[in-house]
Amino acid sequence: MHFFLCFDCLSLCFLLHFRSCVAFSGKNRIIGVAAKNQMVTNVKNTVFGFKRLLGRKYNDPYVQKELKHLPVKAAPLPNGGIGIRVNYLGEEHSFSPEQITAMLFTKLKETSEIALKTKVNDCVISVPSFFTNAERKGLLDAAAIAGLNVLRLMNETTATALAYGIYKQDLPAPEEKPRNVIFVDCGHSSLQVSACAFHKGKLKMLASAADPELGGRDIDFILTEDFCNSFQSRYRIDPHTNPRAYLRLTAEVEKLKKQMSANSTNLPMNIECFMDDKDVTGDMKR
């Protein structure tokens, strides 16, 4: 049995790693890592986590819960969909999660075209295996807005297994015992696990399971709360009252978490001018 742990990308689409983040700043649309990097200074106009809003209605309790984690404003659209409110080109605009996703796809398309030096229209997009038909439809709508022709939507569990199978040179021959591999894919907000049997040129999905509500961000939430409590008692500040400070803390905590997964010593965290002109420090050990 082989175990293969991956923390990888959103889609097989163009085999590119992209952060699902879109920001608006004056006349500019900022996409991907660049958008994530400016998040703290442009809290109200930076949209992330929209993959979880695809194909859903505003009054869906799941949507209401998700919106609590997002610093952007949102309101219902006339058709009951979700309108994400941002400042763009000097006025307030309302975009659906499908439109925001289309902006990300357009950028992915352009990036791929530059890298591949050819037009890209056809693509395969992977989706979480637990995506409902409505969510899949939302993703297809987004691809259509971006002018992409989706040949196929593929489950992420299948895409992960395929990616493993493509590069493995030593898989058993068809008459031999299969190699069984378990894939554990812990993403930002969900966890997918699958068991596959491999032969050379052939893969069989034996079983798969998912928890759509458990991911790396849940670790971030818990660690962030721990620092909030500590800051309340040590500095008399409550980061919950300041969205920008809270987001900044979450970003630092995520960095600390990543460091902790490679380093078992006590690790420091320092943030200057965090709130009320106070510098804060903390530390953590796994």
Count of CA atoms in the C-beta half-sphere (13 A) of 229 = 6
Binding partner of residue 265 among ligand NAG, Mg ion, ligand ADP, none, CB cut-off 5 to 8 Å per kind: ligand NAG
Residue number with CB closer to ligand ADP (41 or 261): 261
Q: Report the alpha-carbon distance of residue 107 to residue 213 in Å, rounded.
A: 28
Q: Answer yes or no whether residue 144 interacts with ligand NAG by CB under 6 A.
A: no
Q: Taking a C-beta distance cutoff of 8 angstroms, is the pair 227, 249 a contact?
A: yes
- Shortest Cβ contact with Mg ion: which residue? 187
Which residues are near ligand ADP by CB under 6 A? 7-8, 10, 187-188, 215-217, 254, 257-258, 261
Binding partner of residue 158 among ligand ADP, Mg ion, ligand NAG, none, CB cut-off 5 to 8 Å per kind: ligand NAG
Q: Answer yes or no whether residue 11 interacts with ligand NAG by CB under 6 A.
A: no
DSSP state of 54: T
CB of 101 to Mg ion, least distance (A): 16
Residue number with CB closer to Mg ion (8 or 110): 8
Cβ contacts of residue 200 below 8 Å, gap of 6+? 171, 172, 173, 174
Which residues are near Mg ion by CB under 5 A? 8, 187
Residue number with CB closer to ligand NAG (112 or 158): 158
CB of 201 to ligand NAG, least distance (A): 18
Using only C-alpha atoms, the chain has a radius of gyration, in whole angstroms, of: 21
Count of CA atoms in the C-beta half-sphere (13 A) of 140 = 12
Cβ contacts of residue 159 below 8 Å, gap of 6+? 11, 12, 126
CB of 158 to ligand NAG, least distance (A): 5
CB of 166 to ligand NAG, least distance (A): 17
φ, ψ at 171 (rounded to 5°): -75, 150
Residue number with CB closer to Mg ion (8 or 276): 8
Strands 73-76 and 82-88: antiparallel
Strands 179-186 and 2-6: parallel
Long-range (24+ apart) CB contacts under 8 A made by 258-261 are 260/284, 260/285, 260/286, 261/286
List 45, 96, 160, 208, residue binding ligand NAG (CB under 6 A): 208
Residue number with CB closer to ligand ADP (276 or 283): 283
Q: At 268, is the secondary structure helix, strand, or coil?
A: strand
Residue (of 121, 125, 130) closest to 152 by Cα position: 125
List 41, 64, 149, 263, residue binding ligand NAG (CB under 6 A): 263
Binding partner of residue 267 among ligand NAG, ligand ADP, Mg ion, none, CB cut-off 5 to 8 Å per kind: ligand NAG
List 11, 42, 46, 155, residue binding ligand NAG (CB under 6 A): 155
Q: Answer yes or no whether residue 129 interacts with ligand NAG by CB under 6 A.
A: yes
Q: Which residues bind ligand NAG (CB under 6 A)?
A: 129, 155, 158, 208, 263, 265, 267
